[in-house]
């Protein structure tokens, strides 16, 4: 992509948070077309340094408006995805996992997943040299990142508990692997990814409860970062990774959640804070099961899409086998227009396929009604999202 088709901005981090274990907290703002690698700024490694400023020079002349700028755009979101671990590597550099759902992922103008784990060759495992069977550290070959792009994934959220499984080195290699395959990255402290999609700038940022991500438990930091993103783009997408895990946690409770001794955040409060600050879509992951979908102040919130794919890593028993791809259409100001949900079912190896009985859609509809009442969106017989009333 030529320089004349790129626009970058100056971004000032302020005191949004610090990343532990040697990665600088920084606001990083990128821009690029949906089909091309975005312009990149480098996140530098430093130990406990203050937030920094990343400067990029704007092009003298903005890109001309296209017919797509006057239309709506669609954004797809799928669940937790890991492309290999010491528990097994999928064939075809991960294509075995993503090939069956590539059609759904490619159907949107912009597609994102939560990428759990690392794509690296080195780094020190959080589980130590002799890991416990109860400690999970995911690492697949960097080449597997190519299957994400081949399947139609444009953005990987790294704000999650497994992105740092092999430390700063593993995370750095993961970022390089994804960016080499033209998959955008977001979710590190203060990081904003801006992509141009059908003539509309879309800002994407990720939050979780871990120090290597933007902090979802700090409402002031959430507001500051979302407001900064809203100044950079008319459509803002906020990802989060939070909530208790596993079967029995399909409902979205009010208040803070805890799991295995960890504070997993207050996802309802986060969604409302992000929307009040300017987020247009709030898309969640983390529970490894499906949760409900609601509309809050004209903006859609999906609290969990479960697991999209994970080769012998995630359990696929009971409701943990239910999955889906959500496709949301918004106008060029980010307002929700319509949505569709494709039901998926994971097999015993964590490979997704069609859910002929639409059990995933039924679960999303049921827990959504029970948790959000009239604000819920349910899935009709054709996969369309409809108001619960």
pLDDT in tens, 276-296: 999 999 999 999 999 999 999
Compute φ and ψ for 22, nearest 5 degrees: 95, 20
pLDDT at 44: 29
Mode of pairing for the β-strands spanning 352-354 and 293-296: unpaired
Q: How far is Cα 195 from Cα 68, in angstroms, rounded to an integer?
A: 14
pLDDT at 91: 84
CB atoms within 10 A of CB 128: 10
Q: How far is Cα 287 from Cα 366, in angstroms, rounded to an integer?
A: 17
Write the Ramachandran bin of 84: left for phi over 0, alpha for psi from -120 to 50, otherwise beta.
Answer: left
User: Which tokens go with 372?
Assistant: 């959000």
Write the Ramachandran bin of 348: left for phi over 0, alpha for psi from -120 to 50, otherwise beta.
Answer: alpha
pLDDT at 43: 31
pLDDT at 198: 94
pTM score over 0.75: yes
Q: CA quadruple 211, 217, 218, 221: dihedral positive or negative?
A: positive
Instruction: Please report where in the chains the tokens 């949906």 appear, as a residue.
Output: 34
Q: How far is Cα 28 from Cα 251, in angstroms, rounded to an integer?
A: 34
pLDDT at 61: 35
pLDDT at 129: 76
CB of 154 within 8 A of CB of 186? no
CB of 369 within 8 A of CB of 289? no
pLDDT digits (tens, 9 = 90+) for 188-202: 999 999 999 999 999
User: Which tokens go with 227?
Assistant: 């407001």
User: To 10 degrees, the CA torsion angle through 305, 308, 310, 313?
Assistant: 20
Structural domains of the chain in order of their starting residue, each with its CATH number: 3-387 (3.60.21.10)
Regions in the chain scoring below 50 on pLDDT = 1-26, 28-29, 31-66, 68-69
């Amino acid at each position: 992509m030529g320089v004349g088709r790129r626009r970058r901005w100056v971004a000032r981090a302020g005191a949004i948070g610090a990343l532990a274990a040697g990665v600088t907290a920084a606001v990083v703002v990128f821009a690029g077309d949906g089909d091309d690698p975005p312009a990149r700024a480098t996140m530098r490694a430093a130990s406990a340094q203050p937030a920094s400023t990343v400067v990029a020079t704007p092009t003298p002349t903005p890109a001309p408006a296209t017919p797509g700028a006057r239309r709506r755009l669609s954004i797809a979101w799928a669940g937790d995805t890991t492309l290999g671990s010491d528990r097994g590597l999928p064939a075809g550099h991960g294509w075995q996992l993503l090939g069956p759902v590539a059609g759904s992922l490619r159907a949107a103008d912009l597609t994102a997943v939560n990428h759990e784990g690392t794509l690296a060759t080195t780094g020190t495992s959080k589980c130590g040299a002799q890991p416990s069977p109860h400690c999970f550290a995911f690492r697949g070959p960097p080449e597997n990142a190519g299957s994400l792009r081949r399947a139609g994934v444009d953005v990987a959220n790294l704000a999650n508990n497994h992105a740092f499984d092999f430390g700063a080195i593993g995370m750095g290699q993961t970022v390089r692997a994804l960016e080499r395959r033209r998959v955008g990255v977001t979710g590190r402290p203060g990081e904003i990814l801006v992509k141009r999609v059908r003539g509309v700038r879309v800002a994407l940022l990720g939050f979780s409860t871990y120090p290597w991500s933007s902090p979802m438990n700090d409402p002031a930091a959430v507001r500051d970062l979302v407001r900064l993103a809203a100044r950079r783009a008319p459509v803002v997408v906020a990802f989060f990774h939070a909530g208790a895990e596993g079967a029995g946690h399909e409902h979205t409770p009010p208040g803070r959640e805890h799991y295995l001794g960890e504070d997993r955040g207050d996802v309802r409060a986060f969604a409302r804070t992000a929307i009040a600050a300017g987020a247009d879509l709030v898309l969640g992951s983390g529970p490894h099961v499906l949760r409900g979908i609601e509309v809050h102040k004209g903006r859609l919130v999906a609290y969990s899409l479960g697991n999209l794919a994970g080769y012998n890593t995630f359990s696929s028993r009971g409701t943990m086998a239910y999955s889906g791809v959500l496709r949301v259409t918004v106008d060029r100001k980010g307002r929700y227009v319509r949505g569709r949900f494709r039901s998926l079912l994971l097999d015993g190896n964590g490979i997704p396929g069609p859910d002929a009985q639409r059990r995933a859609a039924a679960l999303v509809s049921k827990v959504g009604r029970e948790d959000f009442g009239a604000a819920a969106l349910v899935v009709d017989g054709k996969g369309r999202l409809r108001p619960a009333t």
